[in-house]
Structures are given as structure tokens and as C-alpha cells.
Structure 1
Amino acid sequence: MSSSHDARPFRILGIQQIAIGGPDKQRLKALWVDVLGLEVRSTFVSERENVDEDICALGRGPTAVEVDLMQPLDPDKKPAVHTTPLNHVGLWVDDLPKAVAWMTARGVRFAPGGIRKGAAGHDICFVHPKGNDEFPLGGEGVLIELVQAPPDVIAALG
């Protein structure tokens, strides 16, 4: 396994989002929106992802960090977006397909679903919180979302 930075065909550019889960997103909004002043930019509801979320913004422009306030559609179904309060951290990456291929070849375990469109419209995939026998490297308990950075984010952070 090489540790050379030059061999890595992608760059992690910065934090794209943090996702916070709870049983009631109104309670999350009371803090994040009403007290801390984040603005709700959109909402996203997905049966497949078992989520009803408000997508908020921290900062402005291409370097703004998304803060997702999530509650489950059904608290008894998976994924259980409310059982880990800090649900996941999203990282901007400049070349998502190359990152996934390179990381997979080095034993990183990805969650099921592969690369797909995320709630904010960017291509995404998730590094599984735990490794397994086939892919021993995971997020050590943290779900990590890799997010394809659009050109303005690459220009601002790259």
C-alpha cells in the first residue's frame, strides 16, 4: 500500500456537509435555524433513504457548508438516520469516480448503493462506518459521504 500523495488521483477539498439526525427535525431547527441563524435552502424526502431532511447552509457561495437536519420517515426502518446524532460528514472530492476506484483497490469498504445523485443534486457515495474481511478499511464508526465537487467549488477550494 503506497502512502505517496502523488499516487492519489483525487483530492479531498474540504467539508461539504455535516448531517445531524434526530427523532424530530423541528427540535433540530429550533437550535440550528432559530437560534444559530442557518437558513433552510430546501427539503428532501426519500422513502428509500428513510429520511425527511431540511438542507441548511452555513456560509455563502461555493465554500458554504451544508448542514442537513434529518428525521426518519419511519423510526422503525433502516437507515435509522436519527440513532446517531452526528449522522455523517460529507467531504468534497475533485474526482469521485477516480477516488472510489483508487480507495476500493486499497481496501476501503463502501456502503451499498454506489455512486448516485444525493439530496443536493451532486454525485455521492458513502464510505461504510466499518470495514469487513474483504474491505478492511472503514470510517472507524463514522459514516463518510464523498461528494463530487462542482467546478465552482473546485476553483474556490482547489
Structure 2
Amino acid sequence: MATQQDKPFRILGLQQIAIGGPDKHKLRTLWVDTLGLTVIGNFVSERENVDEDICALGEGVHKVEVDLMQPIDPDKKPAVHATPLNHVGLWVDDLPKAVEWMNANGVRLAPGGIRPGAAGYDICFIHPKGNEQFPIGGEGVLIELVQAPPEVIAALGGGRQG
């Protein structure tokens, strides 16, 4: 098993959780109206079949997004509402190096590669399930890797240790 010193990247902390449901207004009743999170944005993508409200928990580099997602068309894929905990997002200090290392070490990444995410950071996903070629997956959980901006890297200890 590889140690942290063997990896050219570091996972720094939780960036987001994404919760799906058939009606994001019901999700807002809990997360915004009851628990007090603040809606900071909205993201709609026909290609990703999602209409999501981006909410914030905490502030600054310690802010965690809680994305409340509903499908644009409940009969199309991806079915963002089919799994209530849709995915977990993790800050990573060097996304390209992480992807390169994971590809070389049997981690199955979801199709789409590195691309801009809803919050404006580059992202990619670890597939929920491994396969023969890439046996390491999320064990049923979709995991989003999010390129951390410099201020998050500095605050959450992304400095390399030699």
C-alpha cells in the first residue's frame, strides 16, 4: 500500500456533499429554512440532467458546499435524485497529478476527465465501482475530486512534506 509520501498530491478536506431528491424545494425546507444554510448559487445543466441550489455551511476556506439537486427530467440519466447522497467532494492540492497517479494505480475514474465544476473549480470523479482494469472505486459512493484554490491549500495544510 502506498504511503502519503509516495503520492504526488494530498487530499485536504471536505469540499462538498451533494444531496439529490425529486424536488429540491423539499430539500431547501430542511437545509435552508430549518438548518439555516445560505443559498449562494444555482447550477443548471441539461447534459448533467441537474438543477441544483448551491448552499454554504461555514465561511472562508472552511466553507463546505451542500448542493441540493433535482433532475431536470426524472426519466433521464444521470438520475441525480436516485441516490439521496449523490456524491462527496474532496479538496485536492494537485488535481492533474492526482488523476495521473490514480490512473497508474488502479483507481477507476468516471468518464469526462478533468473539467470545470459548478462552483468554478476543476473537478473529476472517482467512479462508484471498480472494474477489472481499474479495481479501486468508491465502493458505492461517487467521489468528486476538486482542485483546491491557493488559499484553501495554504489554510488546510497542502504543503508537501519531504
Question: In the TM superposition, what is the alpha-carbon distance from 1:3 to its structure 2 partner?
Answer: 1.7
1-side partners of 2:54 and 2:95: how far apart? 22
Aligned residue for 1:100, secondary structure, equals helix
In the TM superposition, what whole-angstrom CA distance separates every residue of 1:7-28 from its partner, at most 9, and x where no partner exists?
A: 1100000000000000000000
Using the TM superposition, give the Cα deviation of residue 157 of structure 1 relative to its aligned residue in structure 2, in angstroms: 0.6
Distance across 2 between alignment mates of 1:4 and 1:72: 39
Q: Give the 5 Å matches for 1:2-151.
A: 2-151=1-150
Aligned length: 157
For the Cα contact (< 8 Å) 2:9–2:97, is it kept in 1?
yes
**What whole-Å deviation, never above 9, does each CA across 1:99-123 have from its counterpart, x for those lacking one?**
0000110000001000000000000
* Aligned-partner Cα distance in 2 for 1:82–1:5: 35
Deviation of 1:141 after TM superposition, in Å, equals 0.2
4+ residue stretches of structure 1 with deviation over 4 A? none
TM norm structure 1: 0.98
Structure-2 separation of matches of 1:58 and 1:5: 29
- TM-score of the aligned structures, taking structure 2 as reference length: 0.96
CA contact (8 A) 2:4 2:10 kept: no
For each residue in 1:16-55, what CA deviation from the matched residue of structure 2 results, as whole angstroms up to 9, or x when unmatched?
Answer: 0000000000000000000000000000000011000000
Deviation at 1:4, TM superposition (A): 2.3
Contact 2:19 2:66 in 1 (8 A): yes
Give the distance between the partners of 1:32 and 1:139, measured in 2 at CA.
26
In 1, the alpha carbon distance for the partners of 2:56 and 2:68 equals 11
Q: Aligned residues: percent identity?
A: 78
Unaligned runs of 5+ in 1: none
Q: Tell me which amino acid in the other structure corresponds to 1:135.
A: F
The CA distance in 1 between the partners of 2:136 and 2:111, in whole Å, is 15
Q: Counterparts of 1:15 and 1:138 in 2: how far apart (Å)?
A: 18
